[in-house]
Structure 1
Amino acid sequence: MAHHEREVGSHQSCVIGIDLGGTKLLAGIANADGDILTSLEQPTHHGEDGSVLDQMVALIATLLANVGRTPGDLLRVVIGVPAAVDPKTGLASLSPNLRLPADRSLANVMTAGLSAQNISCPVVVENDVNLAALAESTIALPQGDDTLAFISFGTGVGMGLVVNGALWRGAFGRAGEIGYLPFGATPHAHAPGSENGLFEDAVGSKGIRARFSSDRQTVTDLFANARQGDGAAQAAIEEIAQNASVGLAAVHALLDPSMTVIGGGIGTQTEFFEALKRHLKPLLPFECRIEPSRFGGQAGMIGAVTLAIQGAVKHFKGLQDVC
């Protein structure tokens, strides 16, 4: 086979992973071995401040320049988004504040935006929690032959699944959308009025603020108050963890994962994590392996880089087989 300037094994080959959130963008560039060369974090552009699409294109160009790479060295870009991505159409229900088209796949739109800047490479869009699960699995399941569930408790509530080393997305990309789990004593009565799903209403940040916060306090304030001995705040965290344990029990009863990793802004709080494990025990007659996230807020970006490398290697192997 003739030498290819962007083959995975070349010294300058690189991939880029982007975690696109409602408040921030976290992007990393890695070499073909998966080593993160550098990363950048920026506030997400909203509304009239400019398109987040343009922001991501500029961010990719900046990352390449910062590590002395050219557009020809870039093998693949993976973008994690806070939405289910249909594996057949590539469409995702994204926030309107991001000013991204709802009727075209973000991957196609992003490819066109990069092409306008003379950057040509495949672009893949994936659910952000799925990518976090993939990142965690690289350490937690080094043999790649078991099942890992990653559950993020934060602004929203979501789950990613890795089965035998690969993401399990479901038929329409909705596998792991546990925010929609029926929850509470009268789910049929409350589901029609739910904005993000009954389980997320109970344990996501918005629902927590509505029930437990006052004077515009944040969830972060709630945990800070609990650490300072505030009894009401401590009781609130216990109730939140108890509610969350119901969803966690459902995951283990249905999927029986080898390991469940807990992450997200709420999930990474030690008080919540310990209470969650404690409240899970009486719900199931068997032990469950529950671990804290190893990558924290970088899990989505690291997972995006991981998926980019996996895709590049698979593509390169296909070229070798053809040749």
Structure 2
Amino acid sequence: MNINVIGIDIGGTNLRGAVVDSKGKILKKYSLSSEANVGIDNLINNLIDLINNLRADFKITGIGIGIPGILDSKKGIITQAPNIKNAANYPIIKVLNSRIKPRLPLVIENDANCAAFGEYKFGAGLGFKTLIMITLGTGVGGGIILNGEIWNGAHGMGGEIGHIKIYPDGNKCNCGNRGCLESYSSLVGIKNMIKKGLTENKINKKLLEKIKSTKHDKLPELFYEEAKSGNSFSKRLWEEFGKALGIGISSLTNLLNVEIVVIGGGIANAWQMFIPSTKKAVKENTLIGPYQKLKISKSKLKNDAGILGAASLILPEK
């Protein structure tokens, strides 16, 4: 029997969705602005438009949705979502059920968990039972799969990998603490290293001019190219970035003894610059038993991981 579902990845800027079959093949994609910064009502209207567009040419049996925030998936409620205005304690499943006709089965899950589940089902984690997904972007996101299931923790807040402590008295993190992984191995971390480089007079005039003329979200690309060209500050930046990431992975591995760690997100494109120091730090800080059997892999699904993971929430088990 051919089963088609819709997987949706809600972002702060865009809504991305796809029709996915039972084998994980994407049959149709569609995206539009989320307007999450305007408010939850605008987002819901756009979400309905997205769903109607995707289901127009297919018989759909259910919808899975990845949402950035803390959720009560069983009750269908967004508990907290800082990137979606006015979304606190919002009954999203109830609202969508009242708007989608005919009604379809709906499941919600944290977006980072969806990305991890997508890699587990159809990507780099295929064939493994335990997996950690780390996404490197503006911040550091993550999801944990244990024995084939998403691990949410006791209150739906598990997997906050970006806030593992790397250096106890380190950089100030946006969460209010110090030394979190996110304050080193992310765009936020790169900005912190720029500030430090300026304070210590480690950035030459030519590089400084390039930094000033580069949009913030393009800084990883700039430092990737500069490191390739041999710029000493850029090479050290990626070494520090990778070292912090490796220390974080070693802590997770010592605790959970997973089979594979998958690294994704936009900054993963600089893989060859940071992964040597990441692997070195993992080797130096991980117990020998878990280390010997650990695999570290780049995401295979890239931007489709969240969509495929959301779709997998509603697909029947094989």
Whether the TM-score (by the shorter chain) exceeds 0.5 is yes
Q: 1:81 aligns with which of 52, 63, 67?
A: 67
1:189-217 Cα distance to aligned partner (Å, 9 max, x none): 95797279822122221232243274254
CA distance in 2, matches of 1:296, 1:166: 21
User: How is 1:1-323 mapped onto 2 (pairs within 5 angstroms)?
Assistant: 9=1, 11=2, 13-48=3-38, 51-65=42-56, 68-69=57-58, 73-89=59-75, 90-96=77-83, 98-114=84-100, 118-139=101-122, 140=124, 142-143=126-127, 146-186=129-169, 194=176, 198-212=180-194, 214-215=211-212, 217=216, 218-270=219-271, 271-286=273-288, 287=292, 288-310=294-316
**CA offset at residue 244 of structure 1?**
1.3
Q: Which residue of 2 aligns with 1:320?
A: none
CA distance in 2, matches of 1:225, 1:303: 35
> Which moves more between the two structures, 236-245 or 36-45?
36-45
Structure 2 unaligned spans of 5+ = 196-210
Letter in 2 for 1:183: I
1:38-89 Cα distance to aligned partner (Å, 9 max, x none): 1123343244598121111101111122xx22xxx32211111222323454
Letter in 1 for 2:121: T
Check conservation: 1:136, 1:293, Cα contact below 8 A: yes
| Secondary structure of the structure 1 residue equivalent to 2:116 | helix
Check conservation: 1:267, 1:273, Cα contact below 8 A: no
CA distance in 1, matches of 2:164, 2:45: 36
> Which moves more between the two structures, 236-245 or 47-56?
47-56
CA distance in 2, matches of 1:192, 1:51: 27
Check conservation: 1:26, 1:41, Cα contact below 8 A: yes
**CA offset at residue 248 of structure 1?**
0.7
**CA offset at residue 267 of structure 1?**
2.8
Q: Which residue of 2 aligns with 1:5?
A: none
**CA offset at residue 222 of structure 1?**
2.2
**How many corresponding residue pairs?**
291
CA distance in 1, matches of 2:117, 2:106: 18
Check conservation: 1:153, 1:262, Cα contact below 8 A: yes
Check conservation: 1:241, 1:275, Cα contact below 8 A: yes
Cα RMSD after superposing both structures: 2.8
| Secondary structure of the structure 1 residue equivalent to 2:71 | coil
**CA offset at residue 129 of structure 1?**
1.4
CA distance in 2, matches of 1:84, 1:201: 21
CA distance in 2, matches of 1:197, 1:127: 24
> Which moves more between the two structures, 282-291 or 84-93?
84-93
CA distance in 1, matches of 2:261, 2:180: 21
Please give the TM-score of this superposition, normalised by the length of structure 1.
0.80
**CA offset at residue 137 of structure 1?**
1.3
Letter in 1 for 2:42: S
CA distance in 1, matches of 2:300, 2:247: 23
Q: Given the superposition, is the C-alpha separation of residues 306 and 223 from structure 1 closer, same or farther in structure 2, using an over 3 Å criterion?
A: same
Q: Given the superposition, is the C-alpha separation of residues 199 and 33 from structure 1 closer, same or farther in structure 2, using an over 3 Å criterion?
A: closer
**CA offset at residue 28 of structure 1?**
0.7
What percentage of residue pairs aligned between the two structures are identical? 27
**CA offset at residue 304 of structure 1?**
0.9
Check conservation: 2:4, 2:19, Cα contact below 8 A: yes
**CA offset at residue 262 of structure 1?**
1.1
Q: Given the superposition, is the C-alpha separation of residues 63 and 231 from structure 1 closer, same or farther in structure 2, using an over 3 Å criterion?
A: same
CA distance in 1, matches of 2:66, 2:174: 29
| Secondary structure of the structure 2 residue equivalent to 1:251 | helix
Check conservation: 2:226, 2:234, Cα contact below 8 A: yes
